[in-house]
Every structure is written in C-alpha cells, then in structure tokens.
Structure 1
Amino acid sequence: MTEYLENKASLIEWIAAGEKPKEQWRIGTEHEKFGYSPDDFTPLPYEGPNGIKAMLEGLIDKGWQGKYEGETLIALTRPKDQGGGSVTLEPGGQLELSGAPLVNIHQTCAEVGTHLKEVLQLADSLGQAYMGIGYAPDWSVADMPKMPKGRYDIMTDYMPTRGLRGLEMMYLTATVQVNLDFSSEADMVQKMQIALALQPIATALFANSPFINGQSTGHVSERSLVWLDTDAQRTGNLPFVFDNFGYERYVDYALDVPMYFVIRDGHFIDATGLSFKDFLDGNLSVLPGEKPTGEDWENHLTTLFPEARLKRFIEMRGADSGPQDTFCALPAFWVGLLYDEATQKKALDMISDWSSEERHAMRINAARQGLKAEFRDGSLLDVARRAIDLSREGLIARGAVDYKGADETQYLKPLEAVIEQGCSPAETLATQLSTEWQGDITAVYKALTY
C-alpha cells in the first residue's frame, strides 16, 4: 500500500528515518567516468555496436539486471546477495557506478576494482575506452550524445533558464563522491558543517579538470566552477547549515526549491518551476488532488545540488573524477574525518571560527587555484595537510584492517603525494600539456584512461 506524505512533519520524519547506530554505518562510493572512442577521441553514442547501450548489455551478461524506461535500457542493478549497487548513465553518457553500502574502504576498493575490470574487458571488445577527469578535455555540449532518460529531457530544457553553465554541468562533468550515515540530528548537523566547510579542500586535493576546448583554463577544477553558474537556488555551500540547523531547516530549504518532475507509471511528468509545498497540499497543477509519496520526496531531494547533500545519508559532492586510486582515497578522506567521534570533534573545532565569507571565498579559490589558494595567514595546502592528518587519525582509530593486516590509511597515499608535491593534480596535467605533450590534447585522454 502506497504511503503518502501529508505535511511538513512527515517530510522531516522521512529524513530522520535515516538515523543509524554507529555499528550500522556504511560507506557508499559513487564515481563517474567518460567513455570515448579510442580511434578518434569522440564521446560514445547510446546506440550502435560501440555505444553505451552495448556496454550495459554486456554487463547484463556478467550478472547485472537491466532497468528500463519503457523498453529503453537506462541502468543496471545487482541483487544484494551478489554484491548490490547500480550502474547508471549521466546525461552525456558518463558511466556511473553507485556502489553498495559497505563496511570499510577495503571493500570499497575491491568493488571499484571489480567494476573497472568488468567495464574494461567489455570496452576492449567493443572498441571503447574510459577515462577519469572532472570536465571533458575538448568536447562541447553540442558534441555530446543525449541519454534517453525522461529526467534529462526535462532538465535539458530547464537548465538554461536558471544559469549559464547548467548544460555543461550535465553533459561535460564527472565526479566521485561518498555517501555516509549519521546517528542523530545532532550528529547530522556536525557532519554537514564539517562536510560543507571542508568540501573546498576535497575540491583542491582532487582537482583534475584544467581544460576547456583543448586549452588550459588557468583553473584547476572547471567542474567545480561550473556549479557557480548552474542554478543558485539549488547549489552552493548552504550558509544556513552553520546557524541553528536541523532537519526542519533543510526541509524548508528543499521546499523553497522548485520541482523538476514527478514520476508516474514509469513516465516523467514535467513539473519544472512548480512548488513541492503545493504538492504537499494536494494542489500540484500537473497532478491535482494527489499527495506526494516518499519516493516523490526522495526524487525531489536528488534535484538539489549543494556541495554536501542531505537525504537519509549525507553525500560529499566536491571532488573531480580521476584515476582509480582516487576512488578509494575520497571515501578514506571523509570516513577518517567523520566516522570516529574524537576525530569528528577535532575537525569541528578546526572549522568552528571560519566565517561564511571565508567559506565562500575558499570554495571559489579552491576551484581556481587549488592548494595554492590563500587562506588566512597561509594557504589551502596548510588546511589540507591538517585535514589529512586528522583523517589518518580517524582511520587508525577505526582499526579496520585488510587480509594483510594493513589499515585504511593506505588509501590516503594519493593525497599524501599531492600534499608532498604542493599543488593540485590539475596543475601537473596543464604543465604536461604545454611541455612534453606539446599541446596535443589527445595525450590527456591517454594519460587518464583506465
């Protein structure tokens, strides 16, 4: 029997139902990657012998189950007893693994490795290649195939009305993120505050998108900069989270953001610009008399794009996609900071006196200058070093070891290398393009291909 949400209190209760005791906390890692033809470095179409659909069909043969809109194959899922998780398509064909909720980073890393092995075996036979980068090196929105998903049709029409770079966000960017649990409203508040304050540090550490149209931009994360001009109502670092925040305040924020769509019988109904408040009152013009379900509310929450997003868990959204080891490093970074009580308190203390203006400037400067951006009497490199030290403490305290007896701190090694180098990965890519690669943008594809 369908359960309908009757009032704002029921929306709050829906989010609060995500609370879990610490022993049930899990780690869900997601990563996106661009597929391309290695013959001419063009993005993959949906149809055709070397298309994205062929990849999905190949993964079905490996045990995944197809998910369809009508008769169109749009995603894959896997039963929990076979590992769980899903494979989905972003608007321009970016292939995304949404990993299963796992206990530790060792399992996350194994999951990532298995997935990439499956994908790359198929890619070789299909004439495909996949690379990790935050913003497509030399493609334009016009170059990109459009995946046959109703949600994306609606967003493609609506995005240009809300900002200048929304279509770039949809079609030209790729990210890696981790989803983490909370035990109570107070714990959620602390985690959201740390997540939003330190998201620019993740942006700088993982910055891997310095190119547009085959040229260096002078910035380290073009993906992050795109979000600054996408849709101000549903993006940003949410200053209100640092002032009397709780479930109700986030619900108020979500209710103030216009809707995109409602799904009924597998079909997307355009609800762009309409109010979820009206839906809650049974007055949504496209579904008169109907009240929302929990699935409707969850779908609406997925159309909010802040740097850290609250649902029944918290999503960390600040990092560019990149090399395979970064898919383990990102969850390790955040788990170390947020899954040990003592370390979480230290992280909260570290960011406690940062002003809203400082946090906002840090977000912009991290995307432009990376770790070299100034902050107070030092730089983001100094903050990043402290954050990684705290993360290491947290991972040691967790004591989760692999079969060799090694703990989760091993997955911080890529970030420690970045700190030692003193600059974001994007700066190295930009330097290589102008020197050893002599301006040949195809060398970027080759360097970042899995």
Structure 2
Amino acid sequence: MTTRTDLSASPLIESRDDLLSVFAGGEKPRERWRIGTEHEKFVYRVTDHRAPSWDEPGGIRDLLTGLTEFGWKPVEEGGKIIALTGPDGTISLEPAGQLELSGAPLTDLHQSCAESGRHLQQVKAVGDRLGLGFLGLGMWPDKARTDLPIMPKGRYDIMLRHMPRVGTLGLDMMLRTCTIQVNLDYCSEADMVKKFRVGLALQPVATALFANSPFTESKPNGYKSFRSHIWEDTDPARTGMLPFVFDDGFGYERYCDYALDVPMYFVFRDGKYIDAAGLSFRDFLDGKLSVLPGEKPTLADWTDHLSTAFPEVRLKSFLEMRGADGGRWGRICALPALWVGLLYSQAALDAAWDRVKHWTIEEREALRHAVPKEALDAAVPGGGNVRSLAAEVLEIASAGLTERAELNAAGDNEGGFLDPLRDVVASGKTFADRLLDRYHGEWNGDVSHVYGEYSF
C-alpha cells in the first residue's frame, strides 16, 4: 500500500478541475511511457518460519536498516523507520511486515527485471545476516491472523479497525496476502479508457495465470487464488470490476465521481494519521469533515484518498493492474511483460479490445467470480475456458512486445519474459496446481516444505 514519502506543503483544492488534474496530468506521449513494477514478499525467520515483528532483534526494523548500506534512505513515521527511498523506487511495509518494492518508472522490461533482481539480491544479503528468508506466494500458506505482527504505521491502525465493519476478509487482505502489480501510462483520456476497459476485462486471465495461493493455515482452501477471492469480501464500496468503466462517456469525470463516493480512511496531518474511516471526501471538500471541522483538503489529501480505492484496475496518474498473486522472480518479470505487451502496442490493444468488447457486465462479473476457484478451467463468454483465452492473450501480448523491439545486450526482445506464463498455458497447470500436487504427493500433506522450495 502507498507510503507517504513527500511531506512538503500541498496546495488546497480550489475546484473540481484540481481533482481532475491528477488524471489529466498523467497523460504522456508514447516516447515517455514507463513501466513501474511493484511486488511484495513474505518475510520469515529461517529457524522456525515465524513472521518477525518490527522491533525484535533481527526483525523488520533491522532489515530496513540493513538495506540502507545499499544507498536506500530511511522514511520515518513517529520516529520509526517504515520505508526506504532510492533510485530503484520505494521499499515499504504491508501491514504484517510483507516487504514491497514499488519500482522506479523504467523504459523497458529488461530494466524492470534487472531492478527486481537487484532488490532481491540486496534483501537476501541482509536477510542472510539476520536469519530471514523471503517467500514468493500470494498468501501465507500456514499463518493464522493471530500469528502475525502489525507494523507501526498509523494508516494501518485505522484500516485494521475499519475492515471488520465492511467485510469478513479485509483483515486477511491486509495481513496474509502478497501481490505483483504494474503501473502503466496513457497518452490521452481516450487511450486511458481503452486500456482501463481491456485491463478490467482481462484481469481474471492474469489472476488465473498467476494463481498461487491455494493454502490457508496449512490446508488446501479450495481455491487456486484465495488472495483474489479475499477481495470479493473486503469492502464492496472500494473494490470490484467497476461496470461503469464500460459505459458510454466514461472518462476522468466519471472516475472522479466514483473516487469521491469511496468512503475515506484517514487524513494525514503533522506526521500523523487522523481517523476519518467511513466519512465523505465530498464533505471534506465543503469544509464539513467532522474530524477536521472547517478545514478543506489539499491535493495531497486527494492523492492519498485515491490510493484507498482497491478495484481490479485503479486509476491515479497512471493505471495499476492489480489482479495477480505474488510469486518468485520470473513471475515478477512476467506480470509487466503481459500488460506491456497488451497495452503499449496500439495493434495489440485493439486486438485485445476486439476480443472482449462484446462481453456483458454479467459475463465479466461471472468470470471474475469463477477464476479464483477454477483458474484456467473457468468458462469464458462465448465459449471455451480461460486456458484457451490465455493462449490467445499471450499471442497478442507477444506480438505487442515484438513490435516494441526493445532489445537487451544479447539482442533479445522482451518476449522471453512471458515464458513462465506460456508454460502455465502449455501444461494446463497454474502455480497453485503445482503446489497442490506437491502437497498431496511428496510433501505428504506437510505445507512447511514450501519454505525450502518456494523462497527467493
């Protein structure tokens, strides 16, 4: 989740145009489009697989402090280090200590994958000294909520209190899941709309291809991506497939209205988070927010608020693709490859839209609901299943990457980063299927083997 790293003064919002400026300000010509990859991983004690707390010796605080030797700069909240900034982006903490890299905006996938590799080398170097390991899955395979620590971040205290009021699985989302995401640009409002629609319609395909969370508290949970299922019962006011995105006339104005209707979580003032959970940003605009009477929001308050909506695709000054489970290194590189291939080539974007544009709201929702459990076997609108659709989608993405012609030193284009996904489609087995095969086979029902075989 977003960590506030810029504490400079922010201008007051004077008009609706200021709200819309965040979206319109993201418009960039094609030559300035960038790729921002985000990925989370679980941190555990090598000796007993326990999730370390922030302040214990050799715990999360010491991990963050250790990373400063690689040039990362500390970000503190209440005198406690809770994030790092550097040339490779931002390292931050999810609520139970999941470690996230929000990568820098980069030109091509070779750079993005190299960035991920540098980050993993650094955390492993520090982790080896501290006795910490790093697990690449979509959900803790063996931990109950009560087994997990809470990080010292004010926004998380507010969210932890609020989540049980609006859904039954929100605490699991916060404490027990990890994801891979990619942030991508657009050149105009029309370009944003088309990319948003393709991203939403095909997000279930990404969920299936990256499905990697089949265990809850050491037992199979009946899902391939339980992480994805969790979002179905987290908070309906801020999650989902956003059917209005497919309405005629959709654009910045309509998304602004949606975001204004999303209930608030907090306001950040003087280094502290003020609990505004369930309150209205519209009231805030009118100076009628009960926790800050008479005060009006700044542009930073608006960007904070935009980060508290969690649909399958999210608009800020870029588009975030949010449907994939966490995974190991090759999968971290594969997720941006999928979406860059689909969205950064006009021919690929047009082909992807042609494939999904006739789907109804009901069909998109049915696919979204089926995929967490059925993954590649879920039926798709018009016939066939996700496996067959994923094969088509990967062909489109591969053509898009070939068109980009971004080559590494060996002369290879970016298409090789799709290989882990090609393997999923060819085999018909998701990463979750393979975990379940091991669990029912050589692991003999002992999920602890995952630490030896699925760590970074």
TM-score range, shorter chain: over 0.9
SS, match of residue 411 in structure 2: coil
Taking only aligned residues, the RMSD between alpha carbons, in angstroms, comes to 0.9
Q: CA offset at residue 289 of structure 1?
A: 2.0
Q: Distance in 2 between matches of 1:234 and 1:279?
A: 18
- For the 8 Å contact 1:218–1:368, the answer to whether it is kept is yes
- Counterpart of 2:5 in structure 1 is none
- Counterpart of 1:44 in structure 2 is 52
- For the 8 Å contact 1:307–1:318, the answer to whether it is kept is yes
The one-letter code sitting in structure 1 at the alignment partner of 2:12 is: Y
Which of the numbers 284, 299, 308 marks the counterpart of 2:313?
Answer: 308
- Counterpart of 2:284 in structure 1 is 279
- Counterpart of 1:104 in structure 2 is 108
- Counterpart of 2:371 in structure 1 is 366
- Counterpart of 1:232 in structure 2 is 236
Q: CA offset at residue 15 of structure 1?
A: 1.5
The one-letter code sitting in structure 2 at the alignment partner of 1:55 is: L
Matched, 1:323 2:348: no
The one-letter code sitting in structure 2 at the alignment partner of 1:173 is: T
- Counterpart of 1:399 in structure 2 is 405
Q: Distance in 1 between matches of 2:439 and 2:46?
A: 19
Matched, 1:381 2:366: no
Q: Cα deviation per residue 1:119-138 (whole Å; 9 max; x = unaligned)?
A: 00111110000010001001
- Counterpart of 1:166 in structure 2 is 170
Q: Distance in 1 between matches of 2:135 and 2:74?
A: 24
Paired residues, number: 446
- For the 8 Å contact 2:18–2:299, the answer to whether it is kept is no
Q: Distance in 2 between matches of 1:39 and 1:404?
A: 41
- For the 8 Å contact 2:214–2:223, the answer to whether it is kept is yes
SS, match of residue 150 in structure 2: coil
Q: Distance in 2 between matches of 1:278 and 1:411?
A: 46
The one-letter code sitting in structure 2 at the alignment partner of 1:142 is: T
**Superposed, which structure 2 residues align to 1:25-424 within 5 Å?**
25-78=33-86, 83-244=87-248, 245-375=250-380, 376-424=382-430
Q: Any stretches of 5+ residues in structure 1 without a counterpart? A: none
- For the 8 Å contact 1:308–1:314, the answer to whether it is kept is yes
Q: Cα deviation per residue 1:17-72 (whole Å; 9 max; x = unaligned)?
A: 11111111000000000001121111121112220111000001221000001211
Q: CA offset at residue 2 of structure 1?
A: 3.7
- For the 8 Å contact 1:7–1:280, the answer to whether it is kept is no
Q: Distance in 1 between matches of 2:326 and 2:10?
A: 38
Q: CA offset at residue 7 of structure 1?
A: 2.8
- For the 8 Å contact 1:204–1:366, the answer to whether it is kept is yes
SS, match of residue 389 in structure 1: helix
- For the 8 Å contact 1:370–1:423, the answer to whether it is kept is no
Q: CA offset at residue 218 of structure 1?
A: 2.2
Question: Which deviates the most, 193-202 or 421-430?
Answer: 421-430
- Counterpart of 2:20 in structure 1 is 12
- Counterpart of 2:449 in structure 1 is 443
Q: Any stretches of 5+ residues in structure 2 without a counterpart? A: 1-8
TM-score by structure 1 length? Answer: 0.98
Q: Cα deviation per residue 1:226-269 (whole Å; 9 max; x = unaligned)?
A: 00000001000100000021001001001111100000111101
- For the 8 Å contact 1:204–1:370, the answer to whether it is kept is yes
Kindly report structure 1 stretches of 4+ aligned residues shifted beyond 6 Å: none
